[in-house]
Amino acid sequence: MRLEDRVAIITGAGSGSGRAGALIFAKEGARVVVTDIDPKGGEETVKMVKEQGGEAIFAKIDVGKLDDIQRMIDTAVDTYGKINIMWNHAGIPGPGFLEETEEADFVRSWEVNFKGTFFAVKFAVPHMKKAGCGSIIFTASIAALSGSPYSASYSSFKGSLVTLTYTLATYLGPHNIRVNSICPGLIDTPMARVFLDRSGTMGAEALDKAIQDFGKNKSPMGRTAKPEDIANAALFLASDEAAYVNGVILPVDGGTVIVM
């Protein structure tokens, strides 16, 4: 019960690492606000949490829209009375190569991967200050820590989260609110398949192979990350075990970034 009596919001919890986080957080005692743009996935996550004996609710939100972000915060406070943990996990691959990037796609990537995260923290922080403590977690990427030729906008916005982590850790530390970032490598999730195949032409079998081959060829540990690998890192950062961990950029990539 490492998160007993905590209220946690997890964005992008309808699948992948966000779903794994909701399950693990709830198992450790947190009441979880599951949010996602996909109601089917979000409701399925809540069902899974309840089946294992945990407590959760679902809020359908688009993290690129400020009205939705504010409603997410209000839903958490109205339902559970407080906010202790904010894991800003939702993200999208965005456009691919520089020459293929259109303005509308760039703006949408910025909205989801950075703007929504910034304002989610803005709206959550007053409640964390009231609670006397808080843990804010960003899902950045190893693409923020090394050069990536494949997605200039995604890398830029994830890099901005790293800088935001440093800034907010300094600003919010005196209020006992910790701010840290997780930087995953490639994870075996639905988003990874979109990231690798923006044109939608590879096919399921080829994508599965590409994801597994990435881990074998790029990670010193010889495998691709599982959603639970990321969720367990978030659990640590959210827990009292990380009570003096603030402003940390934590790669969870099996060592991929050190050999890229």
Residues designated catalytic:
154
Query: Which pLDDT band holds residue 259 (cuts at 50, 70, 90)?
Result: confident
Q: Quick one: pLDDT at residue 237?
A: 98
Helix axes 16-27, 227-238, angle to 10 degrees: 50
> Exposed, middle or buried by CB within 10 Å (0-12, 13-18, 19+), for 159?
middle
Q: Quick one: pLDDT at residue 150?
A: 77
Q: Looking at the predicted structure, is the pLDDT value of residue 45 above 90?
A: yes
Query: Which pLDDT band holds residue 233 (cuts at 50, 70, 90)?
Result: very high
| Secondary-structure class of domain 7-259 per CATH | alpha beta
Q: Quick one: pLDDT at residue 147?
A: 78
Q: Quick one: pLDDT at residue 160?
A: 96
Q: What is the mean pLDDT of residues 18-26?
A: 98
Mean pLDDT (the chain) is 93
Q: Quick one: pLDDT at residue 74?
A: 98
Domain boundaries, the chain: 7-259
